[in-house]
């Protein structure tokens, strides 16, 4: 049985038994190689679910739709390892309760999608630990290597140039599961902390502010870069921040739902003077 058939049949079973009220998965998109999120609530619709190598979007953010989990019922969702990590971060940040979430885990290897064993976030601990180890040996992509070879001044100019193309559509924010604030600081008008118009200063403020907000929380799912209509390689900025966090604190976000957020925790024996 293919992985797609396996999960269609599991979705039917769970919906028929009333174990879950919804399955959030992938369905056919507007072109043969595109997928769009689908929200299946009846067993008859389960055959709309698609699972193949084009299913890249991290769907965990849809779990935060207002009121979705407020009735304490369960929802099943298709997630890769990055998606499961974001589920753990969201739980650690008190945004959801993982006991209401059933995971249809999958990974993409070459030209194949394969199922990952487990159904509860806690079942994937060893898979996440392996991903943390693998990250250390992941080769940098071409642009990333170029950026590393630049002087800080050249790198700053590079990002200034990239951000100059930003149209402030906020698609990156909407697509990011970690951008869950009900009201984003950039939507605040009185006082206005961040310039809202699309020009050099406002763009730089927005993109740097977002990168800092994601430090130690980004799971590198790539939703932001895929959503950006200006093709700004946002994932490289987030990846660089993730490198720093891993090297400095050995912190890999989303290991489990009890993991302390790296920038909101401290050790009493920290030698730095900011600990009084
Ligand atoms: S910043 Fe981008 S890569 Fe990181 S979690 Fe958000 S969408 Fe995913
Ligand atoms: S998605 Fe791209 S263009 Fe839109 S606000 Fe984000 S960085 Fe700017």
* pLDDT tens column, 16-64: 999 999 999 999 999 988 999 999 999 999 999 999 999 999 999 999 9
3-state secondary structure of 14: helix
Is 169 touching ligand 2 by the criterion CB < 6 Å?
A: yes
- pLDDT value at position 84? 98
Residue 80 CA: distances (Å) to CA of 112, 117, 124, 210: 13, 11, 10, 23
Residues of the chain with pLDDT under 70: 274-276
- pLDDT value at position 200? 83
Is 147 touching ligand 2 by the criterion CB < 6 Å?
A: no
- pLDDT value at position 108? 94
> Residue 101's beta-bridge partner residues?
75
Determine contact, residues 166/203, Cβ cutoff 8 Å. yes
Residue 210 CA: distances (Å) to CA of 119, 173, 248, 265: 32, 8, 20, 20
pTM of structure:
0.93
Is 168 touching ligand 2 by the criterion CB < 6 Å?
A: yes
Is 230 touching ligand 2 by the criterion CB < 6 Å?
A: yes
Determine contact, residues 160/200, Cβ cutoff 8 Å. yes
**How far apart are alpha carbons 162 and 210 in whole angstroms?**
15
Element containing residue 105 per DSSP (H, E): strand 101-109
Nearest CA to ligand 2 atom 3: 166
* Probe target for ligand 2 pocket from 204, 232, 233, 235, with the most ligand atoms within 8 Å of CB: 232
Place of tokens 């396996």: 6
Q: Which of 187, 235, 212 is nearest to 82 (CA)?
A: 235
- pLDDT value at position 268? 78
- pLDDT value at position 199? 83
Burial of 77 (0-12, 13-18, 19+ CB in 10 A): buried
Strand order in the sheet with 22-28: 35-40, 22-28, 75-79, 101-109, 112-115
Nearest CA to ligand 1 atom 8: 221
């Amino acid at each position: 049985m293919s992985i797609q058939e396996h999960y269609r049949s599991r979705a039917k079973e769970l919906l028929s038994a009333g174990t879950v009220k919804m399955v959030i998965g992938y369905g056919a998109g507007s072109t043969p190689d595109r997928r769009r999120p689908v929200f299946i609530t009846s067993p008859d619709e389960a055959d709309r679910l698609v699972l193949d190598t084009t299913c890249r979007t991290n769907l965990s953010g849809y779990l935060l739709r207002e009121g979705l989990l407020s009735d304490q019922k369960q929802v099943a969702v298709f997630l890769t390892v990055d998606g499961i990590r974001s589920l753990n971060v969201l739980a650690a940040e008190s945004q959801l309760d993982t006991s209401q979430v059933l995971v249809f885990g999958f990974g993409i290897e070459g030209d194949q999608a394969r199922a990952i064993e487990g159904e509860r976030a806690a079942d994937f601990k060893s898979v996440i630990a392996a991903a943390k180890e693998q990250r250390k040996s992941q080769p940098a992509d071409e642009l990333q290597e170029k950026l590393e070879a630049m002087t800080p001044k050249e790198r700053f100019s590079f990002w200034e140039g990239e951000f100059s193309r930003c149209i402030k559509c906020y698609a990156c924010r909407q697509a990011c599961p970690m951008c869950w604030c009900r009201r984003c600081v950039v939507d605040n008008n009185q006082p206005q902390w961040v310039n809202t118009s699309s020009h050099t200063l406002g763009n730089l403020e927005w993109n740097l502010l977002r990168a800092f907000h994601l430090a130690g929380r980004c799971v590198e799912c790539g939703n932001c870069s895929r959503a950006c209509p200006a093709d700004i390689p946002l994932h490289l900025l987030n990846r660089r921040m993730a490198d720093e966090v891993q090297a400095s604190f050995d912190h890999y976000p989303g290991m489990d739902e009890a993991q302390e957020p790296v920038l909101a925790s401290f050790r009493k024996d920290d030698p730095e003077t900011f600990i009084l």
